Chains A and B, each alone.
Chain A
Amino acid sequence: MKRNQNGIGLIFISPSLILVGVVVYFGIAYTFWGSTREWSDIRSPSTSIGFANFEKMAQDPTVYMALKHILIFGFLTVLIQMSLGFFAAVMLSGDTIIARNIHKTFIFLPVIISPAVTAISFRQLMSPDGEINSFLRFIGLGFLQQEWLADTRVTLFSLVIINIWQWTSFSFILYQAALSQLDQEILEAAEIDGANYRQVITRIIAPQLKGTHLTLIIMGFIGSMKTFELPFLVTGGGPAGSTEFLTTYIFDQTVSRFKFGYGSTLSVLLCILSITFTVVLLRNSRQRNM
């Protein structure tokens, strides 16, 4: 019986394996190969140039700018989305809040809206005479009004705000699910021991959700490296490169300028960063748990 299982197992997984193999793994291999080529026309053959593209990348100021943006964007969005999501999940886990389902629905809705729709909507809402500025004036916070998408000191943070709006619900849902699996007896025991509300949350609940924190950190940072629609559709990477991401730069080099070789090199960088980041985080967390 054991002997037959090798074949049948492989047959069942082969459709997935072929699809992922061809698109992802062949794609990665091809990208690595492409990164060593000078190549600016699909129809004409490319020529090998060794690591010249990597040398070019190491001296390309746009790359460093993009990396800085990803780092700031990733750090802020992950931190704020996790805090807000955790806060909302804890608040809505008890029965003190009236109409909990309505709150949940409103927090959840942004995540199902297409990033393209979100991007185009916020481009209007964040214009100087748009709804965001009017709202700030209306609630008496007029001094917070900004040229959200024109002032190069603010643009990246505007994208952070939009991302938080769209993705907080994801943290919220994960925390909510994790909270529902917590052992109620531990919480009750802590209260009997005289722990107050804040202590229960910071000392007992938060440490027990380590797995969820880790998942959100990994997915958040990978998400920020993948972020494309927001800068592409809201600001186009501008003004003055203030919202350039590695993804928008790859798109620009590959699709707009047909620099397939250099585009591949940038893609290799993106792949290596995503993989390294995930492996390092997973390994660290595993060591700490042991």
Chain B
Amino acid sequence: MSTRISKNKRILQNVVMVAFVIPFVFPLISVIARSAQGEGFIVNYKAVFLRSPFFQFAANSLYIAFFTVLITFITTMLSAYAFSKINFRGRSTLFILLLGGLVLPSIALVVPLFIMVAKLGAFNTYWAVIIPLAAGAIPFNLLLAKNYMDSIQNEIVEAAEIDGCNKLQVFIRIILPLSKPISSVIVILTFLASWNEFFLPVLFIQDPTKQVVAQVPQYFSSIYTSDYPKIFAALILISLPTLILYLVFQKNFERGLSAGAVK
């Protein structure tokens, strides 16, 4: 198509595209620029590192993310395998039942979550955040994983079973290795969701030593009041891990987001 587009049109399209992208870039640049104002870039970032519990918050978030990813990954892959490759009664009904969780806003469950956590005495524990996060992550990831596993040929599974593999062995030796691309997508998306989660920690974690990165900005607002350059430095540092993750796994990200929805 491109060969027939005139040179002028080409230039025009490029100008339009740059104008299109500027509003997306401008806020990012503004935040970075703001983080270097006040006492200056080095002082601001140093303050976040040395005079705030930033690393503590990051470690807490990592802990939550690690277990959320672990639980989500194991439960999702096991059930995706069953839905895709095993014939059992009630398969399609149960699949729809699990996907139903996609539609429901998690905040609509605030009352039961609040009561359950209170009854279990789980306030200020990470599990109060991890369990609902994992339950919320299962439906979408299950859809991704099942779609992917449907494309794995049944003959491979059958051949392995003739060779004497039981279902669990098939899962571990055949399905998991063949599902590496979608596995990385699930791990990345779940990590992203739990690292960025704000609502559940705000609800259940008040103890300042146990708070998570999404709560850092609020924490900083209270100690630095209006020292926004430092708050913005903190915002950037919070976003760095996901940014690096994205740049390293760019292809997987895009494939993952689209894989579930295109089908």
Contacts and interface: CB of A to CB of B under 8 A. Distances in A.
B78 A270 contact: no
A88 B20 contact: yes
Query: Which of B1, B25, B94 neighbours the largest number of chain A CB atoms within 10 Å of its CB?
Result: B1
A96 B14 contact: yes
A211 B228 contact: no
Interface in B167-222: 167, 171, 192, 195-196, 198-199, 203, 213-215, 217-218, 221
Given A96-B14, A255-B203, A15 B78 contact: yes
Nearest to B161: A1
A158 interface: no
Nearest to B23: A165
Contacts of A116: 196, 198, 214-215, 217
A148 interface: no
Nearest to A275: B103
Given A177-B262, A212-B262, A12 B196 contact: no
A96 B5 CA distance: 8
Given A5-B86, A15-B79, A24 B135 contact: yes
Give the interface size bracket for A toward B. Answer: 35 or more
Nearest to B262: A177
B238 A117 contact: yes
A81 interface: no
Given A5-B87, A12-B81, A173 B242 contact: no
A34 B21 CA distance: 47
Contacts of A114: 195-196, 198, 213-214, 238-239, 242
A113 B34 contact: no
Contacts of B164: none
Interface in A163-195: 165, 168, 170, 173-174, 176-178, 181, 187, 191
Interface in A17-41: 17, 19-20, 22-28, 30-31, 34
Given A6-B89, A9-B91, A15-B74, A34 B246 contact: no
A173 to B, nearest CB: 5
Interface stretch (A54-62, A71-79, A120-128, A236-244): A120-128
Contacts of B259: 177
A116 B202 CA distance: 11
B192 A112 contact: yes
Given A121-B235, A177-B258, A247 B115 contact: no
B114 to A, nearest CB: 7
The interface residues of chain A, by DSSP majority, are classed as helix
B65 interface: no
A290 interface: no
A177 B111 contact: no
B76 interface: yes
A260 interface: yes
A20 B243 contact: no
Given A19-B75, A31-B108, A222 B103 contact: yes
Give the interface size bracket for B toward A. Answer: 35 or more
A97 B17 contact: yes
B5 to A, nearest CB: 6
Contact of A271 (B104, B114, B257): B104
Given A114-B238, A225-B105, A19 B17 contact: no
A46 B94 CA distance: 33
A173 B257 contact: yes
Interface in B115-171: 115, 118, 131-132, 134-136, 138-139, 142, 167, 171
Contacts of A170: 257
A204 B108 CA distance: 41
Contacts of A233: 198
A82 B115 CA distance: 39
A100 B118 CA distance: 51
A207 interface: no
A12 B257 contact: no
Interface in A120-138: 120-122, 124-125, 131, 135
B261 interface: yes
A19 B91 CA distance: 17
Contacts of A267: 107-111
Given A42-B115, A97-B13, A114-B239, A229 B25 contact: no
Contacts of A105: 247, 250
Interface string A225-252: 1101100010000000000000100110
5 contacts: A8-B167, A28-B108, A114-B242, A264-B111, A274-B105
| Pairs of residues from A and B, 7 with the lowest C-beta to C-beta distance, nearest first | A9-B88, A177-B258, A23-B135, A114-B196, A12-B82, A30-B112, A27-B112
Interface of B: 1-2, 5, 9-10, 13-14, 16-17, 20-21, 23-28, 30-31, 34, 71, 74-76, 78-79, 81-83, 86-89, 91, 94, 97-98, 100-101, 103-115, 118, 131-132, 134-136, 138-139, 142, 167, 171, 192, 195-196, 198-199, 203, 213-215, 217-218, 221, 228, 231-232, 235, 238-239, 242-243, 245-247, 250, 253-255, 257-259, 261-262
